[in-house]
Structure 1
């Protein structure tokens, strides 16, 4: 089986497992700024995949996709896309269980080991350019 098909299958399998758990991002130095749901569908107002909502909009101050914002800049200490972020977003489920930090920072302890988090980190630039295409690839 080609590697791409195996990768796609594993992503699908992991996404199915996490469908029962709604995973959310919280950012800021106190982790009190809600940044959206990472595995909600594109029509959910809180989804990072909804380009018309606060958390999926490329221009929103609360979006990890806003390259000029605190939570989406590759230079911000609060962004998952900064190699040196001190306060990257945390991933929590609906019950407040901790699933690690969403971060490119290789030195940040407790980086998320979730496959979805790793895919987001590895492909964030590409994802930002095609939210709906990546959503379909990951969740459908």
Structure 2
């Protein structure tokens, strides 16, 4: 299966599953630091896909895309991109339902099995380089 087919499949799947659910990321040791909306569009001020927002900007301290920040570094215990993270971000919907942790750490219990979480973990380095382009591939 090539990338284009994967993205078409994921777009359909994500659209069906998450059409009514707004998913949010919460980080920190107590999961009390808001890190943005996981599936909001690129114009939403809380979206991780909005490169002008606190949560989508690669230079923001609250962004999972900031490779040097607490929530985006491959070495931080709070980052989804650390294979050894103890406190990766939690995925929660607008009603407070928990969907697991967004993390590369395969030993973390309750690691999210959402298709979107798995795609983010697999392609996070590529996504960081073209956030808007990846949003289009995944959601449009």
Q: Cα distance, 1:45 vs. partner?
A: 0.2
Q: Unpaired runs of 5+ in structure 1?
A: none
Alignment of 1:40-51 (within 5 A): 40-51=40-51
Shift in Å at residue 6 of structure 1? 4.2
The corresponding residue for 1:82 is 82
Residue 22 in structure 1 maps to residue 22 in structure 2:
yes
| Structure 2 unaligned residues grouped into runs of 5+ | none
Whether the 8 Å contact between 1:19 and 1:39 is mirrored in structure 2 is: no
Distance 1:70 1:138 in 2: 25
Q: Which residue of 2 aligns with 1:106?
A: 106
2:10 is matched with which residue? 11
The RMSD of aligned alpha carbons is: 1.0
Contact 1:22 1:39 in 2 (8 A): yes
Q: Partner residue of 2:91?
A: 91
The reply on whether 1:54 has 2:54 as its aligned counterpart is yes
Find the aligned partners of 2:51 and 2:106 in 1 and give their Cα distance. 29
Partner of 2:65: 65
TM-score, scaled to structure 1:
0.96
Runs (4+) of structure 1 exceeding 3 A deviation are 2-6
Query: Counterparts of 2:52 and 2:37 in 1: how far apart (Å)?
Result: 14
CA drift of 1:15 comes to: 1.6
- Return the alpha-carbon distance in structure 2 between the equivalents of residues 66 and 19 of structure 1: 27
- TM-score w.r.t. length of structure 2: 0.96
**Partner SS for 1:16:** helix
Aligned residues: 139
1:48 is displaced (CA, Å) by 0.2
How much has 1:100 moved relative to structure 2?
Answer: 0.4
Deviation string, structure 1 residues 28-76 (Cα, Å, up to 9, x no partner): 0000000000100000000000000000001110000001100000000
